[in-house]
Amino acid sequence: MAQPSRTWAVTAAVLALTTAAVVWWLGGPAGLGAGDTHPSPAGAATASAGAETQPSPEQGADQSFFARRRAITTDGPADPLLVHGLRDILEALLMEAGDASDPAALKQRLAALVNQHFPAALATRALALAERYVDYRVALGSLRAPQDLTDPRALRDALEARHKVRLQFFDDAEYDALFAREAELDRYTLARLEIARNPQLSPEQRAQALQAADNELSTERRAERSAATAHMAAAAQTAAFNASNADERTRYGARSAQYGPAAAQAMAQLDRDEQHWNQRLDQYSQARAQQGEGPGLQQLRQQLFSPEEQQRIDAALALRQLNAGTSGS
């Protein structure tokens, strides 16, 4: 059985949320504080918009989320644990550990799984870090997300509060490995929001401030933002195709003209994968409604889905139910 690719839908959704605003509590393992998400930088642009970038005296310039951080340097080789993607690995570890409202119980599960995600030489340190990550997620759950993500002041205060929680659990090198990329995007997103909401700026000043915000992005982040914009446009186009029940010929023609034949073919394959995934979800959902939980349903689950896919079934069905409830309200 061919394993369907969920990469396109997941990537498009995440990137869309990332570019539009700072996404807050995405929800990690049940019972823990929510996960936070990716977004961006600002500095001179924020100042151009008249924003208050200086931390309060009690925060200290070096500890503020908005202070320009020094690059972490070491005399020796790079730490093999603190690599790009570390946070994704920890999140995957937590997801595999499953539902646990008790942090202590969750940590016990992590101890049994850590060797599957990290080399033996790093397992002890990785487990200690993962346990602190659990504590961080719990602490994060005590923070109140801003009710209005378009309010620059509320968003600024929330980012600073989240930053303080992170500093409680991770040193500088760990912080950079886990959060530096998204923190740059968070600051950038906030800068653009403050510029857009500043009524004192003329159109020319606003354009200059936005350009200054873009210039503060690193080359790597700027490339990621361009890719995010492209993904968002493609995702929006696919959603429009789905809404209008466009056929494959129509989709291929439009995509080929905009993205090229190779990309159009790849996107067509993703459409087919998505359709196949949804058909199998339909079959599984109908069987569960008719016969309930039991050995027969478990056997069907294994027949229809790969082990990796089985980890996503419940979440996919829950999302379906949520969407159905939203559309019906």
Is the pLDDT confidence value at 157 over 60? yes
pLDDT, one tens digit per residue, over 134-143 is 999 999 888 8
For the chain, percent helix, then strand, then coil, each to nearest 5?
70, 0, 30
Q: Which two tokens stand for residue 157?
A: 């205060």
State which amino acid sits at residue 310: Q
How remote is the C-alpha of 213 from its chain's centroid? 22
Is the pLDDT confidence value at 188 over 90? no
In this structure, the number of other CB atoms found within 10 A of the CB of residue 99 comes to 12
How remote is the C-alpha of 86 from its chain's centroid? 14
Q: How confident is the model at residue 195 (pLDDT cuts 50, 70, 90)?
A: very high
Is the pLDDT confidence value at 152 over 80? yes
**What's the mean pLDDT in 167-182?**
92
Taking alpha carbons only, the member of 158, 166, 112, 117 closest to residue 137 is 166
**What's the mean pLDDT in 295-299?**
88
pLDDT, one tens digit per residue, over 163-172 is 999 999 999 9
Q: How confident is the model at residue 323 (pLDDT cuts 50, 70, 90)?
A: low
In this structure, the number of other CB atoms found within 10 A of the CB of residue 167 comes to 13
Q: Which two tokens stand for residue 217?
A: 């992005």
pLDDT, one tens digit per residue, over 50-98 is 333 333 334 444 577 766 444 444 455 689 999 988 998 998 898 888 8
pLDDT, one tens digit per residue, over 22-45 is 333 333 343 455 444 333 333 333
Q: Is 5 helix (H, G, I), strand (E, B) or coil?
A: coil
Taking alpha carbons only, the member of 93, 91, 78 closest to residue 123 is 93
Secondary structure (DSSP) of 50-109: T---SPPTTT-GGGSTTSPPPPP--SSSPPSSS-TTHHHHHHHHHHHH---SSHHHHHHH
Percent of the chain with pLDDT over 70: 74
Judged by phi (left if over 0) then psi (alpha if -120 to 50, else beta), residue 320 lies in alpha
Taking alpha carbons only, the member of 155, 130, 197 closest to residue 39 is 155
CA–CA dist 217, 103 (Å, integer) = 37
CA–CA dist 297, 170 (Å, integer) = 43
HSE, side-chain direction, 13 A CA sphere, residue 88: 6
pTM (predicted TM-score): 0.57
CA–CA dist 253, 264 (Å, integer) = 8
Give me the pLDDT at residue 280, please.
92
